[in-house]
Structure 1
Amino acid sequence: MTEDMGQHAGAPRELGVAVLGLGNVGTEVVRIITENAIDLRERIGAPLVIRGIAVRDLGRDRGVARELLTDDPASLIRRDDVDIVIEVVGGIEPPRELIRTALELGKSVVTANKALLAEYTGELAAAAAAANVDLYFEAAVAGAIPVVRPLMQSLAGDQVERVAGIVNGTTNYILSAMAETGADYETALAEAGRLGYAEADPTADVEGYDAAAKAAILASIAFHSRVTAADVYREGISSVTAADLASAAKFDCTVKLLSICERITEADGTERISARVYPALIPLAHPLATVSGAYNAVVVEAHDAGRLMFYGQGAGGAPTASAVMGDVVMAARNKVHSGRGPLESTYASLAIAPIAQVPTRYYVAMHVLDRPGVLEGVAGEFAKHHVSIAAVRQEGDGGRTQLIVITHRAPDGALAETVAALKNMEAVTAVTSVLRMEGTDE
């Protein structure tokens, strides 16, 4: 008897797959495995066979064979004929326990669960290493965009200096709509909800929690250190106004919610990590400025490779399922060839830099009294806190004067102290907006 093409002696005749969750992503994963069965078999060296699909409600018509459905995921992952577990349920529990159990039982796991990984990657990676199986999560960061594997493998011989990107499609759609139409935040959010880009409760997206979880994952991989979502400084977009977008345009900038992971080297050579999420002005000439709608993009800067950009659909059932299936194929090939993928690397163990010590630039908009000496007084407050001013724009507004100041780089704490001092100035009637500025060399 001859061996199947691509299959070595002793390789499994079939690879059993358990799918946990049958929402938008899970449905697409099942479709791809079913429709592409022949191609997948040839790429892997053994056929993928779905052993079962765990769902919450067995009564719903799922469009798949009912005998595959179960509401007992714990029993499904324990089956001897399951080799790979695909988790697309989301949330912390029960996925955390299910994934850990599957790994301990020698099953490789593919997950798209960013919230879980941002908190428990260490625990799950340790379980995978102990059992000599794979834990893959390409789909957890930016949907179809391949960024996790390039960081872990393609750039493994380089030193990554910075990873910055737009990793939340909901907020990018909202900010893009505000910039293009002049709509206010609430109007743009409502439209995002109508089109299906925003959840009924959009808090995780618009307040930056989703982006912070992804930043934690990216920082952990890029800098070989354990970073959790709690380590990421976070601000959302709910305070961004149409006036901010209009003002940004006058400075040849736009506003994006950025996830930034950066290696910071002190004067004495000490290295630390900055991981932060906030809305920021970026120049229209910056590659991220042109990323519009619900698309995502990540820019990686490495010592030798230079600047690399990854762009594409960051969410949606089919795009995310594409990333999931890339991981499934890798895990399956490793099963066929009795190997495993790269282990988690946390050898550097770099500390997290407090946001107050991170150098950045500020955009500050304020209303001031229209009288002589006000600009001089405002400039004096910046100078008092050792913050240099890069540009000033003064505009009249119905008897009031609006002053917009853009600073040079300075420690974030010094800028925050400056803003606090401005709010206490008698000549400043209101500080209406404070945003950071990224993507420049100043």
Structure 2
Amino acid sequence: MDILRFATAGSVDDGKSTLIGRLLFDSKAIFEDQLEAVERTSRDRGTEYTDLSLLTDGLRAEREQGITIDVAYRYFATPKRKFIIADTPGHIQYTRNMVTGASTADLAIILIDARKGVLEQSRRHAFLTTLLRVPHLVLAVNKMDLVDYSEERFEEIREEFTSFASKLNASDLTFIPISALHGDNVVSRSENMPWYQGTSLLHHLENVHIASDRNLVDVRFPVQYVIRPHKTEFHDYRGYAGQVAGGVLKPGDEVMHLPSGMATRIAAIDTFDGPVDEAFPPMAVTLRFEDDIDISRGDMICRPNNQPLATQEIDAMICWMADSVKLRPRAKLTIKHTTRTARALVKDLHYRLDVNTLHRDETAAELSLNEIGRVSLRITQPLFVDDYARNRLTGGFILIDEASNGTVGAGMIL
């Protein structure tokens, strides 16, 4: 069974947490004691129905305010597929949390309140998901029960959002009218909307094709760890462990080691369950080679005729995540790209991007918390990079503050 990672986004009070609660409840993915606790809390708060949003809004501050603050992860499975849900906050002051949740997602669900239509926040979330290159986008028009399940209202929202999405890199866009509170079109088709001919949300999640979203053309294997067992029966064993970031690897394939440029062939591919005939993203494997090469953590394995760019100059879009410090030119930071860590100098801030209007402010002197901008970096040692649009794993990085050792930024290489 494959795993679909999806993130939910939307304005405050659009029903993201309720939708996830409904998915978990209707797909029988919650335990009886969890449901009893939610029912008890709902009664204590005086609501006439079981508030399923309490399944994901676990922080006390979230329950008091009725909003999502942190990224809540939930896991469930159906006979067809396993799911990892990132319930991301919608409020503008938690943009960094949304970026964190959506950065690894295969699909994003953007909720829109059928009464309010496409808001500024809806546009911001759509832009962020396309900036993060989330391959599949679902626009779930929620609270259809409050507009009498109106087809005209649904079509209005669809047309408005489609015209906005034409400015973005939205490759796969699906529209589904739902009512998370009553379960319409969430797990099963709704009888209240006979005019809607599409599938339910869960059916779409189960069947959306994600295998081709991963880059299976460019072989990329960042070395994470060198395995040299000390036991006598394995004294000749030398393996290189890591996660396949791109391409397909097979025993006998010719590969190249960077930065040395030396070529060799794969002798075997080992996993926890034994040897395998091929490895592809996102498998974690150990490679053994026919020749002894000096390979260490942070190095890259690729094909001789298909290499990433080895560079010390990086141009990137950066989402700034720190409230204590700001990103300014000449700032010194630590950069972590795949398994390689180096020091970086901020050479230039080209512009700050207004995520609501897509306007570029070229006079900006700094980036503050939750702001996004285009930045040039100078790195102390070469990184082996691809465009983020081509490979999200080798095209993404994080920035770390050298004083606090905290993550202060996330970047996408252009």
Regarding TM over 0.5, the answer is no
TM-score norm. by structure 2 comes to 0.25
Larger Rg: 1
Structure with the higher fraction of residues in strand conformation: 2
Structure with the higher fraction of residues in helix conformation: 1
TM-score norm. by structure 1 comes to 0.24
Relative contact order higher in (CA < 8 Å, ≥ 6 apart): 1
